[in-house]
Amino acid sequence: MTDAQQTHVVLVGHGMVGQRFLEALTEAEPRPPGLRITVLAEEPRRAYDRVHLTSWFSGTTAEELSLCDDAFAAEHGIDIRLGDPVETIDRAARTVTTRAGHTVGYDTLVLATGSYPFVPPVPGHDTPGCFVYRTIEDLEAIKAAAERARVGVVVGGGLLGLEAAGALTAMGLDTHVVEFAPRLMALQIDDGGGRVLRRKIQDLGVTVHTDAGTRAIVDRAGRVAGMVLSDGTELATDLVVFSAGVRPRDRLARAAGLAVGERGGIVVDEYCRTDDPHVLAIGECALAVDGRVYGLVAPGYAMAEVAARQLVAGPPDPDRTFTGADLSTSLKLLGVDVAGFGDAHGVAEDCVEVLYSDPLAGVYKKLVIGADGRLLGGVLVGDAEAYAQLRPLTGSPLPVPPEQLVLPAAAGPRGQLALPDTAVVCSCHGVAKGTIRAAVTEHDVVDVPGVKRCTKAGTGCGGCVKLIGKIVTEELAAAGIETRRGLCEHFARYTRAELYEIVRVKGIGSFARLIDEHGSAEGPDADGCEVCKPAVGSILASLSGGHILDGEQAALQDTNDHFLANLQRNGSYSVVPRIPGGEVTPEGLITIGEIARDFGLYTKITGGQRIDMFGATVDQLPSIWQRLVAAGFESGHAYGKALRTVKSCVGQTWCRYGVQDSVALAIELELRYRGLRSPHKLKSAVSGCTRECAEAQSKDFGVIATAEGWNLYVGGNGGTTPRHAELLASDLDHDTLIRTIDRFLMLYIRTADRLERTATWLTRIEGGLDHVRAVVMDDALGICADLDELMGRHVETYEDEWAATLADPERVRRFVSFANAPGVPDPTVRFTAEREQIKPVLFERLEVRGR
């Protein structure tokens, strides 16, 4: 920009892309002399983070989502006018006129008007109860309507549609997704990934309809009452959210005579200029030179930076152009990791696909490899751990065989990908690995928040944060600087064990206080993430932090803990009452049988000596619990990271080989440790002799009777990586045995990482079993009194979560609101008969395949 040029820039629209344009323009050095900036926005609030918009439902405030504060506007002298959209552009006079009648002159006009949600023009689309999913105001309206609704339908199975479905599900609605394409996320993933994604989402209770259009919205008494699909099926619903794509907001440009594309979008060149040299367009309203309208934030940011550069540099800068962008995407939808990058559909000639598919585990991975060995793209569903490293390598030869990158870790050693410094790690802001390394080596950055402040990497969609952390750690290690492995970004300085000590010592009783005093509560995820929230919830519960469904605690729980029951693959739930030691009276058996009969449940005796009842809907759970509690049963905690069972043989009471009363001890242990929240589930067993009928040596802690007392084994587990338990102590008397188990469990809970089984913990901690033995039996660290006190507090404060829920109408109300009207069966939960019992009807049967 020369001195002779005018310096008044008017920005129309203040979304994420508009804000990035302001940042890029004001970051220019030296700042153009006399620059004035005016922003004219339609929304009543400044730019906010739409990428993390759904976090608003889980407590993130509008202020926390905001991308522009008072200080930014004041520092740069930016005049931001909200709630008064531009109505007309007079290109000859170089003025714009707002809805309120204000006329503002410009020297350069930047259109960042974004897009608008596409609503199919079906009959009834404007019926009260129909919404779009675009702004905070939209979300406020949806939340208010959801409080009076039981069923919701989302039209659209793309990124935003599945986020909307997740929000409705979290609010307790029975949720349907209707997608016109034959698979979910049709643009990002292929058929195989779509099948796995569909199955995983249906397992979470969301009903998916693909190859289905919307014929009409049913209006009864002036409110949404249903939706008719293209095949004539009618879905009963109280609420409809349209998320069927977006269209560029190019009305202003059309009316002003600017060139627009045949299918919409303001035509721009590689410098984001329209056919009027005084008007630029960026973001979702612009049609780029490659004929695309980009709906992702990363291309929008790139366009914003190009436009700002042209204003600052004067003549067009050939080094800063926009000719296209990477459409790679990685995110978590309803708790499912999904990623697509590069040529995800394998359209290149002579390409081959390296595929791993395990629908039973919910994992699908595909890499597309070119004829010359270059990585062209890929799809990852259920396990997107490798995305951050694979995406930057797109277009380059892989340094390891591709099969090493798609096989599960248990199948063998995994290849390590060394990214070059030129690899773009953060596609939202175009930050390369070399820039991140330089932030560490040249600017003394030591953590991810520091990288964000220094480079903006990781402040967009957030998909690169884990890789950024790895790069920072590796760079610090190369410099000989000690690094610490924190729980997550929000608690980067502390491990789970350290947070446990902080909560215990300071008596912290809430996640909010913990993150406020010892964490990082900045940005759109200020309310925590899927890593720290359940981990802290477990810590609070293990330290007697109150009922897990009360107040803030409820928002911290994993899916099953939300309803004190295990979600099954067809959206129903299982109920597992505790049967200590496997001992149950005939009256108890009759009660369980009558409940299963009356509610039409499937019953199965498990390997842990319990009776599972499957097929209950959410609204039935309190009624089932009521009858079980009245008969003396309580929650078996099958849904929690807690003690599951203490299995036993019949012992010396009945068995001619038994040398101790294994049943009595198993019952005592189960009742003592019931409800004990821990980093991972706990399983135990007691065998009455060395014949080991209870399989105690495959448990987290197992006891085997001897003629002299009891042998205690610890650190065993089954699963995909089975491990034999190790002998901790021999021939213990009863009291010493109990005390040793108490201390072992509390030491594990106190020091283990999140989701770390005792087997992994024992092999990880320095000193292993010998160290544990010294601590719990010889008090080598002088903490046994603390461990004893913690277990004593647990035993004294235990309460059955089912009974406690039933005693509080507020807790019960959450279950009533999550199902159809009383007496009306949930149409999304279906069963058929097999072997004289029910079994779930699944939407499709998938095969494990590879090629």
Mean pLDDT of 328-351: 81
Residue 252 has pLDDT above 50, yes or no: yes
Q: What is the model's pLDDT at position 525?
A: 58
pLDDT digit string, tens, across residues 821-836? 444 555 667 788 888 8
Q: Is 689 annotated as a binding residue?
A: yes
How far, in Å, CA of 238 to CA of 250, rounded? 33
Q: Report the 10 Å Cβ neighbour count for 312.
A: 19
**Ordered domains of the chain (ranges, CATH):** 8-116+248-313 (3.50.50.60), 130-244 (3.50.50.60), 420-481 (1.10.10.1100), 489-557 (no CATH), 642-799 (3.30.413.10)
How far, in Å, CA of 7 to CA of 5, rounded? 6
Helices (H), 407-531: 433-443, 448-455, 465-478, 496-506, 511-518
Q: What is the model's pLDDT at position 368?
A: 92
Mean pLDDT of 501-527: 79
pLDDT digit string, tens, across residues 27-51? 877 666 788 999 999 999 999 988 8
**Percent over 90 (pLDDT), the chain:** 46
Q: How far apart are the first and last CA of the chain?
A: 57
- Looking only at the bridges linking them, the beta strands covering 207-209 and 174-178 are parallel
**Percent over 70 (pLDDT), the chain:** 90
pLDDT digit string, tens, across residues 277-322? 999 999 999 999 989 999 888 899 999 999 998 888 766 777 788 8
Q: What is the model's pLDDT at position 792?
A: 93
Q: 816 pLDDT band (50/70/90 cuts)?
A: low
Q: What is the model's pLDDT at position 412?
A: 44
Q: Is 784 annotated as a binding residue?
A: no
Higher per-residue pLDDT: 406 or 216: 216
Q: Which of 469-478, 549-558, 779-788 holds the top average pLDDT?
A: 779-788
pLDDT digit string, tens, across residues 167-194? 898 888 999 999 999 999 888 888 888 8
Residue 409 has pLDDT above 60, yes or no: no
Helices (H), 519-578: 532-542, 552-556, 559-563
Q: What is the model's pLDDT at position 685?
A: 95
Q: What is the model's pLDDT at position 255?
A: 96
Q: What is the model's pLDDT at position 542?
A: 83
Lowest mean pLDDT among 338-347, 415-424, 488-497, 630-639: 415-424
Instruction: Spell out the residues 6+ positions from residue 303 whose beta carbon is closer than 8 angstroms to its own.
Output: 17, 272, 282, 283, 286, 288, 294, 322
How far, in Å, CA of 109 to CA of 12, rounded? 8
Q: What is the model's pLDDT at position 522?
A: 61
Cis-peptide, bond into residue 30, ω within 30° of zero: yes
Instruction: Report the interhelical angle of 734-751 vs 768-778 (nearest 10°).
Output: 120
Q: Is 428 annotated as a binding residue?
A: no
Q: What is the model's pLDDT at position 773?
A: 93
Structure tokens at 465: 């944060």
Mean pLDDT of 534-547: 81
Q: What is the model's pLDDT at position 526?
A: 60
How far, in Å, CA of 413 to CA of 398, rounded? 16
Strands in 724-803 per DSSP E: 726-732
pLDDT digit string, tens, across residues 366-383? 999 998 888 999 999 888
pTM tops 0.75:
no
Instruction: Report the interhelical angle of 159-170 vs 136-146 (nearest 10°).
Output: 40
Provide the residue type at 675 as one letter. G
pLDDT digit string, tens, across residues 99-119? 999 999 999 999 999 999 999
Residue 415 has pLDDT above 50, yes or no: no
Q: Are 536 and 514 in contact (CB under 8 A)?
A: yes
pLDDT digit string, tens, across residues 633-659? 999 999 889 999 999 998 888 888 889
Q: What is the model's pLDDT at position 30?
A: 66
Structure tokens at 70: 């008072």
Mean pLDDT of 534-546: 81
Mean pLDDT of 602-627: 89
Q: Which of 1-5, 331-335, 624-628 holds the top average pLDDT?
A: 624-628
How far, in Å, CA of 485 to CA of 489, rounded? 10
Q: What is the model's pLDDT at position 274?
A: 96
Residue 353 has pLDDT above 70, yes or no: yes
CA-nearest of 710, 744, 716 to 729 is 710
